[in-house]
A and B are shown apart, each in its own frame.
Chain A
């Protein structure tokens, strides 16, 4: 079957660094997305990894290992506004099911 796993909740302190992990078991993998979703709002695109390695974009970085079915999102210099749910999602190349999302990781940033 198709499955994405990520921690349900994480807590970190303002100014710190946090790493949110995501593991997946899917068929026909195309790429992996990270989205940020504040409560009651739509998901906002953060990053897209297709090849192995680290992609850096400001305070946010995303890593992918296709052979291990593993990704992480790294958030540096945490701010209170980073308190949100972070969604890991995979796009698929085979079958009619095109995208799978994890349940999301709720991050709480404490002062």
Chain B
């Protein structure tokens, strides 16, 4: 079975631009969460979506938004990019009613 997939793998943007990151969960998983991981730190929780509704939100500015589609895939959007947004963005999925999350390979975003 395929694991969580994310695209693109790497991305380079300049300050002020916006970016869209994509995630496809493991088949049968209906919950998707997004994390930001800066080098040397643990992942920071951004959003959780379940059945297309936002179920959780971390301490990130409104420049960050996300949505989930009927097939349970998800997009993370970041507007007005800042240098500090450079990080590995991880997507994780989980089965309904279960806490255990499985992570995708991540998208490495570099903001110049």
- Starting from the known contacts A33-B99, A42-B105, A103-B42, 19 additional A-B residue pairs (CB-CB under 8 Å) come to A30-B99, A33-B101, A42-B90, A42-B103, A42-B106, A43-B103, A87-B42, A91-B99, A97-B45, A97-B57, A98-B48, A98-B55, A98-B56, A99-B45, A99-B48, A99-B101, A100-B45, A101-B35, A101-B44
Interface residues of A, Cβ cutoff 8 Å to B: 4, 30-31, 33, 35, 41-45, 48, 87, 89, 91, 96-104
- Interface, chain B (partner A; CB < 8 A): 33, 35, 40-45, 48, 55-59, 90, 99-106
**A31 and B99 in contact, given A42-B90, A104-B42 (Cβ under 8 angstroms):** yes
Note all chain A residues with C-beta closer than 8 A to B41: 103-104
Contact present for A33 and B33 (CB under 8 Å): no
Inter-subunit contact A97/B59 (CB<8 Å)? yes
Q: Is the beta-carbon distance between A41 and B105 smaller than 8 angstroms?
A: yes
Chain A residues positioned under 8 Å from B35 (CB to CB)? 101
